Chain A
Amino acid sequence: MTAQRTEPLAITPVAAAGWRTACLAAHLNGERFEGLFATIGDAETVELRALFSSPAETRLIVCEARDRSVETLVEEIPAAAWDEREAHDLHDLRFVGHEPLRPLLDHHAPLAAWTVPTVGHDTHEVAVGPVHAGVIESGHFRFHVVGERVLYLDVRLFYKRRGLEAAATGHPLATSLAYAQRACAACAVTNSVAYAQACEQALGFAPDRELGRARTLLLELERVYNHLHDISAICAGVGFAAGTMAYATMKERAQRLNERLAGHRFLFHTVRVGASDQTLDAATVQRARSELRELRAEHARAWRQLQFTASLQARLDGVGILTRDDADRLGAVGPVARAAGIPRDLRSESPHLWYQLFDPVTAPGAAGDVASRMVQRALELDQSFTVLDQLLAGPLTSGRTQATFEAAEFGVGRVESPRGATVCVIERNDGRLRAMHLRTGSYANWPALAHATAGNLLPEFPLINKSFELCYACADR
């Protein structure tokens, strides 16, 4: 493991008038935008935070927006578009220059307010959802189309908003982990680890080797069943039932292994703030290791079959292209960004986890289409199987943390979920949570999905959607 990155999170306080200048300075400095959040301060004032990171440093720019107005970042940092719209809807914050500032969470707004107007000969709208035809999460899509061709897609999520972040506040830090976990079953480990790491950073705790190992094991088990699911879903998207079911059975086996190793098919209740109770004896890790090797071989066999099924491959090439430039501009993360040629993976920037010499992979050609996103997941599955094989080389004992750094008011956790970079920012009042912000890989990628859909045929949307395989629950919270 590399030397521990010194913990302190750089906090840059600015006045409301200097908000844009400070954020753009970070942006121009090559730091990556990772989220913008508003929170209500102690005196009912609105406080703004923007997170930027570079491999060397994570920086939180904080600002008190006294008259609920700051200048927008959006034309320089388009990735901040949803964040600004959300902050506006939740806290009535104005972002001067963000025009039009369309509602995102506000479901009472009239149609014209939240959709982009399209005009021209024969343009019309197709409204889909929130209830979909399959077993799919709830969300509303409004396609602006000419004939079969999609001109623009307006995505309206937040039907599943449970108010988890707000409800998490006021409790002891350890208790509120449950709210981060509940955000999404398929990313439960990632969200919990991001929250736990954020708390530990704020408390000045550094995890020991075993804690890092236990969490990495859980994160990779989560990635394996998700990636198997996603390949199955892409096959379902083109009606290739043999592939769908082959990968569904592998996912089932992975989830049964989760249950045997950690007591839960989705690995719920396995992550804690400050410690880990997971222990696995030598015989158990050995059995798990050989099962994962079998699964890996089965995946390799099935994957070869998929590659030589011409009728499947022909449906994936060139569909739903997200170019590298667009992925970068829109702040896409995870397999979606890597399939577009951006070799970025938070696993190579995770000193508290157990990824030695981890090198991100990108799909050959990195065309950013459905085919690339599927190949990307197959490559990452292989990577995860390798990491798991190393992790399970010996028994696992319980892990804990040590007070190493100075405690602080803020903490940030950054974890690569199966869908990409997930960040959790927490603010604390002594031992209690004052605010939590969870910005998941799915949240970051939704605008990229809408963008990649434009120009494709309407019936291709289910396939494109499945190749992104974003969680609605993760975004809605």
Chain B
Amino acid sequence: MFVLLNQLRRIRRDMAAPPPVTRSSLALRHVDAGSCNGCEHELTAAANPFYDLAQYGLGIVASPRHADVLLVTGAITTRMKPALLAAHAAMPEPRLIAALGDCALGRNLLGQPDQHAGALEQILPVDLRIPGCPPTPATIAAALIRALEQRSRGR
């Protein structure tokens, strides 16, 4: 196990990710509203030692009741809309809503129109737009760190 830990320590040192500039944090909740699984892979990757979202105070929480940010991925399917709205309703205020990826932004959707509930914008007020198909972990990390900085400045 020490071999693994040493290797991870080396990667983190070599990556030299920018140091955190704020001492605050944002708790993230993800809802897959009908993605191809690409955005989920990349959101997970943003926590790997190359990007290490956790060091900036950005972590995924298990319940929307604990979350500051709702990260929505995927073309919003009619079948997922009720669950998405329920997760949103469970969040305390103030809260941020992020459209993660082109599908959630309503761009270049494929499929039958009657299976789609529309872009996230038409369903909930969107604060944060993270484009890409899928957005890279670097893009996701940068967007979330920016949101965190803006939010802590606003306080």
Contact = CB atoms under 8 A, between A and B. Distances in A.
B60 A134 contact: yes
A53 to B, nearest CB: 27
A302 interface: yes
A166 B115 CA distance: 11
Contacts of B50: 249, 252
Contacts of B80: 130, 138, 159-160
A138 B60 contact: no
Contact of A162 (B4, B49, B111): B111
B3 A301 contact: yes
Nearest to B60: A135
Interface in A257-305: 265-266, 268, 298, 301-302, 305
Contacts of B149: none
Nearest to B42: A265
Nearest to B45: A252
Contacts of A242: 1, 4-5, 8
Interface size class, chain A: 35 or more
Given A131-B83, A255-B45, A243 B11 contact: no
Contacts of B34: 138, 159-162
Contacts of A357: none
A58 B58 CA distance: 51
Interface stretch (A34-42, A181-189, A322-330, A430-438): A181-189
A135 B43 contact: yes
A160 B35 contact: yes
Given A135-B60, A138-B80, A163 B44 contact: no
Contact of A107 (B79, B86, B112, B116): B79
Contacts of A19: none
Contacts of A163: 111-112, 114-115
A186 B32 contact: no
Interface string B119-148: 000000000000001101100000000000
Interface residues of B, number: 49
A137 B37 CA distance: 7
A386 B66 CA distance: 46
Contacts of A160: 32, 34-35, 74, 77, 79-80
Contact of B45 (A137, A178, A179, A248): A248
A243 B1 CA distance: 8
A162 B37 contact: no
Contact of B35 (A137, A178, A252, A301): A137
A188 B38 CA distance: 10
Given A167-B110, A245-B49, A473 B37 contact: yes
A162 B133 CA distance: 16
Contacts of A472: 37
B41 A179 contact: no
A164 B111 contact: yes
Contacts of B60: 134-135
Contact of B79 (A159, A164, A252, A255): A159
A170 B49 CA distance: 45
B44 A185 contact: no
B17 interface: no
A163 B79 CA distance: 12
B34 to A, nearest CB: 4
Given A160-B74, A249-B49, A185 B134 contact: yes
Contacts of B44: 135, 248
Interface in B19-48: 30-38, 40-45, 47-48
Interface string A136-177: 111000000000000000000011111110110000000000
B8 A245 contact: yes
Contacts of A429: none
20 contacts: A130-B80, A131-B83, A135-B43, A135-B60, A161-B79, A163-B111, A182-B36, A185-B35, A242-B4, A245-B8, A246-B7, A246-B8, A248-B47, A248-B48, A248-B49, A249-B11, A251-B45, A252-B137, A266-B134, A309-B1
Ranked nearest first, the 6 interchain pairs of A and B with the lowest CB-CB distance are A185-B38, A163-B112, A162-B111, A133-B62, A248-B48, A163-B115
Given A162-B77, A249-B50, 9 more contacts: A138-B31, A159-B80, A162-B111, A162-B112, A164-B111, A243-B4, A249-B49, A252-B45, A473-B35
